[in-house]
Amino acid sequence: MQSYYKDVKNINDKVYRDLDKILKNLNKKFHLKLYAVVSNSKGKYQTCFRVKKTLMMNSKDDFQINQDELLEIDNIFTELSIPNRFLDNESDFIKKIKEYLDKREYLQTDKFALEEIAITRENGTVGIDENENVLSRIDNSTSLYSNRFKIDVDSGTQKVTYILTYILEIRNVDAQTINVFYNRPVCSFIRIILDYFFIEHYLSINDKLSLNEDGELQKKNNENSLSFTRRMSRIFYGKIRSILMQNHLKNESLKEYDNIVCNDYYINNMIEELDDISSKTYEGASPFGSILFLTKDCIDESISKIKYAIKFRDKDKIPLNDSKMIRKLLEMANESAGLYLIADYQQILGLGEVKWNQLGNSVLFRVDFKGLSKYNLVCVFTEEKQYTEGKVIVEDDKKTYKCAKNLEIVEDNLVSILFRNPKIKEEEYTPEKFKKLVKTIFFGENSHIVVDGAIDVNIEKLEKIVRKAKEQKHGTMVVITDTDTASNEMEALRKQSTLIERMDIDPNHIKYLTSIDGAIYFDIYGKCHALGVILDGIAHEDTGDASRGARYNSAHRYLKKLNVHGKKCVIVIISEDGMIDMLPELDNQENIYNLAQEIVDLISEKEIEENIKLMEKEAELGRFQSVDCDIYFLIAEGFFKKRDYVKAIEYYNKGIDSAGNNFVSPNYFNNKGKCHDYIKDENNYTEAIKCYECAIKNCNDQNSILKYNENIGSSSISLGMKLFNNNKSKEAREYIEKTIEYIERCFRIARDNKIEIEAEIFNLRGLGHNYLAKIEKNNELKLELQKKAIEDYTNALKISKSYAYYWNRAFPYMGLMMYEEAIDNYLNAIILKPDDNDSVKQIQNILKNNASLGIKALDSYKKKCLESRVKENEELLKLLNDNIAKISKDSNISQSNK
């Protein structure tokens, strides 16, 4: 079983790392989480894992892959916030999960789905409002996908076949890409990447993954992640050309979900032809303009859907491999005027515009050239939009409700090619994201509260200004701060700004006011302070991006300067290429990981008590909205190792809160419990017990469950002893009895699972029996409990010779007035801890009334020291020798008196 787990985990690790690199090549903001469901060759469920990236405590190492074994399949669906329709039949899960996710069947809010949510809530797995439906809980920036591998694992005696079914959760995907992924899967570049990854990225034999001698996956082709995505772009364009070769292409025909390996896609050279066109200049100018690709039915003369401005004769049509001529013709195309080069799958037919009202449900492809070696592939079609308002017309005694219909031209960006590297566009700017960012930065935890009646109005005003600034073709920046910061900054930057009276600006004028270099500067109330502001800032090693322009990096430096001085700021950057960035980036996972790594590194430094930089980084992390729970847990572990238990508890709590419905590893609950234990007060012991109980609920490993039960026993006895010492015997009894209850569970778990019992378990039960004896008023029961305590300590000592166990066993012996045995235990404790003067004091107390035991104690101690080869305790020797001298003196006095 351990070998099988090791192989599966190694495969999970490799699959995650390779997929993560591939997706990051497409879009650095994509964030991957993986679920691996293991079943046997017949589809019977075995176990499942959650696989995701987290940081290492040592920043010199690469990130690590965290794999949590989940309790059951249902944990996966709970974390994804979708109903599981496969609980009753696990083999159905293996067969149907891909189709279930591809078609987004979980979004159907039918009676079945709502009943299932209600059942889940009653079971306590998910807590939702009564009126909440499935759709409202789905993250609209997340794509879900499933596929599988088969593997043969050596069980020792034979090869056993397992099926690894993976569920991928890809976050931070823009809405348009998600729409194509699910509703037009034939045109989805991400889908072909994922399908081909599972089909042919790794070497397989007879439909099973081929592992090397070390149990590692072997790649089918000798290529890295970048080479793979480039090859996929070639295949994708080859697929598009094969689609264009069809007689017709309708919207409904784009619903096929599964890609198959087709050699024709790869040998097709469409992408090379487009690369050649994009790399050509014309009279020094970079290529701009568009080519519209049509299927045969759209070109047919009888039903032509194109209005040609010019049309080439058949013998003069321009082949796509004539890049120089096509680059020249692109100068005539004008997207804003709707004028495109018209092409089929192999040649340019002319220049024209689309008759959109004739297009029907046909689909077109358009390639937009965006500069040197930059072009986008776009899927274009129309959707009918009907006005909701109309009027009733009576004609010939008949009533007709007349309303207008519009055709919306839908343009889905499928993939961008930048210097031969495929990219998926980042999530677009939305008014909602901007408003949320402004509220979060300036109003923090109270961002959901309207601070006063004007706040929402002002934020709405600022959003309109940003929307209008987007129209500035040469790019610009909009800076927003509080009023005081704006006033102070404008004084400081007056020599590099155009200052104006603090005033409202008509959003319709923004396009013109931003036509000069520099930023336009506003306060949170929508009042403009200056135009053309040249921002200064602090150059820092972790600030900016070398691949971006001067505007982007100066904004980062300026934001850094303000943040260092505790000032709040939001900057919207509109680049010349139309890209929009908002700073600070509260949803950028890479930024969060980098920041968290800095925090972990600072925690590991020798002195963290007054580390101002650490406090600043913690405050910066607090501004992010979507921090993965494992980030918080990693920081908590760092504080735990530094023995800063209060801070560790703070971050464990943040992690648990951030996890929501997600499965939390029992190890985190266990470590949080230890933190509470180490603080050593009544409330924290109680919290520790709760933590260990949570750890048990989230665990299916019997060795660990035994340990968590032991920990509850330990916290309970610590709390019971504290209550007893505070004269709260009644409350103490409750927790001491709980100790014995949980330790008895440990014995049952060990017996049922053939687990070896550790000495500490006997010791804890011994403490329980001993303290119950102290509370017990019935002498007969007290005697019985003390004997049980001695038996437990004796069993503990058979397993491990421990100072604590000898010390503990001495007490029930004293309770039973077996002082010679008590002294012997204290002597053994001193042998294990030679400088232990506490035991010396206990012996001294016994000898006060039992002086005769000192002679034997001295002989016994010297013999033990000789056998153990330990240095003698001088204080103990003096005590015992003084005791003997006193006995001798008393004896002489007694003799002389006689």
Using CA atoms, how far apart are residues 310 and 569, in angstroms rounded to an integer?
53
Checking if the pLDDT of 444 tops 80, the result is: no
Looking at residue 322, what is its pLDDT? 95
Of 156-170, 217-231, 394-408, 875-889, the range with the lowest mean pLDDT is 394-408
Of 686 and 395, the structure prediction assigns the larger pLDDT to: 686
How many CB atoms within 10 Å of residue 270? 23
Is residue 427 within 8 Å of 174, Cβ to Cβ? Answer: yes
pLDDT over threshold 50, residue 824: yes
Question: 32: which strand partners?
Answer: 170
Cα-based angle 1, 7, 50 (whole degrees, multiple of 5): 90
CA distances from 672 to 65, 602, 639, 664, 708 (A): 22, 21, 11, 12, 12
Residue 729 class from Cβ within 10 Å (0-12 exposed, 13-18 middle, 19+ buried)?
middle
Of residues 837 and 5, the one with the higher pLDDT is 837
Is 90 exceeded by the pLDDT of residue 607?
Answer: no
Residue 302, pLDDT score: 54
User: pLDDT tens digit string along 735-785?
Assistant: 999 999 999 999 999 999 999 999 999 999 999 999 999 999 999 999 999
- Segment 273-288 shows an average pLDDT of 93
For residue 224, is pLDDT > 70?
yes
Query: Are the CB atoms for 434 and 463 separated by under 8 Å?
Result: yes
DSSP 569-637: EEEEEE-TTS-EEEES-TT-HHHHHHHHHHHHHHHTSS--TT-HHHHHHHHHHHT-S---HHHHHHHHH
Over residues 157-189, the pLDDT tens digits come to: 678 888 999 999 998 888 889 999 999 999 999
Please check whether residue 266 is in contact with residue 238, taking contact to mean a CB–CB distance below 8 angstroms.
yes
pLDDT at 418: 92
Of all residues in the chain, the percent with pLDDT exceeding 70 is 86
Stronger pLDDT, 247 or 265, i.e. the higher one: 265
592 versus 17: the higher-pLDDT residue is: 17
Please state, as a whole number, how many other Cβ atoms lie within 10 Å of the Cβ of residue 192: 20
Give residue 389's identity as a one-letter amino acid code: E
Taking 60 as the threshold, does the pLDDT of residue 567 lie above it? yes
Whole-number average pLDDT of the chain: 85
Query: For residue 660, is it left (φ>0), alpha (ψ between -120 and 50) or beta?
Result: left
User: Which residues, at least 6 apart from 510, have a Cβ–Cβ distance to it below 8 Å?
Assistant: 465, 468, 469, 471, 472, 520
pLDDT of residue 194 exceeding 70: yes
Higher per-residue confidence, 56 vs 603: 603
Confidence of residue 360 (pLDDT cuts 50, 70, 90): confident
Q: In this predicted model, which residue has the larger pLDDT, 218 or 367?
A: 367
Of the candidates 365, 364, 410, the one whose C-alpha atom is nearest the C-alpha of residue 385 is 410
- Mean per-residue pLDDT, 678-686: 95
Is the pLDDT at 623 greater than 90? The verdict is no
- Residue 254 reports pLDDT greater than 80: no
* Res. 112: pLDDT tops 80: no
Mean pLDDT of 571-579: 81
Question: Considering the entire predicted model, what is its pTM?
Answer: 0.77
> Which residue did the predictor score with more confidence, 326 or 221?
326
Q: How confident is the model at residue 301 (pLDDT cuts 50, 70, 90)?
A: low
Share of the chain above pLDDT 90, in %: 51
pLDDT for 537 beyond 90: no
Q: Does the pLDDT value for residue 421 go beyond 90?
A: yes
**Is 534's pLDDT higher than 50?**
yes
Q: In the prediction, which pLDDT does 319 show? A: 95
- The mean pLDDT of 400-415, rounded to a whole number, is 82
Residue 688 confidence (pLDDT) above 80: yes
pLDDT band at 586 (very low <50, low <70, confident <90, very high): confident
Backbone angles phi, psi at 597, to 5 degrees: -65, -40
106-115 long-range CB contacts below 8 Å, 24 or more apart? 106/82, 106/134, 106/138, 107/134, 107/135, 107/138, 108/134, 109/133, 109/134, 109/135, 112/85, 113/83
pLDDT winner (highest mean) among 102-106, 398-402, 568-572 = 568-572
Dihedral sign for Cα 85, 87, 93, 97, please: positive
Reference 16, options 57, 50, 47, 58; nearest CA is: 50
Overall average pLDDT of the 82-100 stretch: 69
CATH 3.40.50.300 fits 431-584, yes or no: no
Output the DSSP codes for 389-429: --EEEEETTEEEEE--EEEEEEEEEEEEEETTEEE-PPPPP
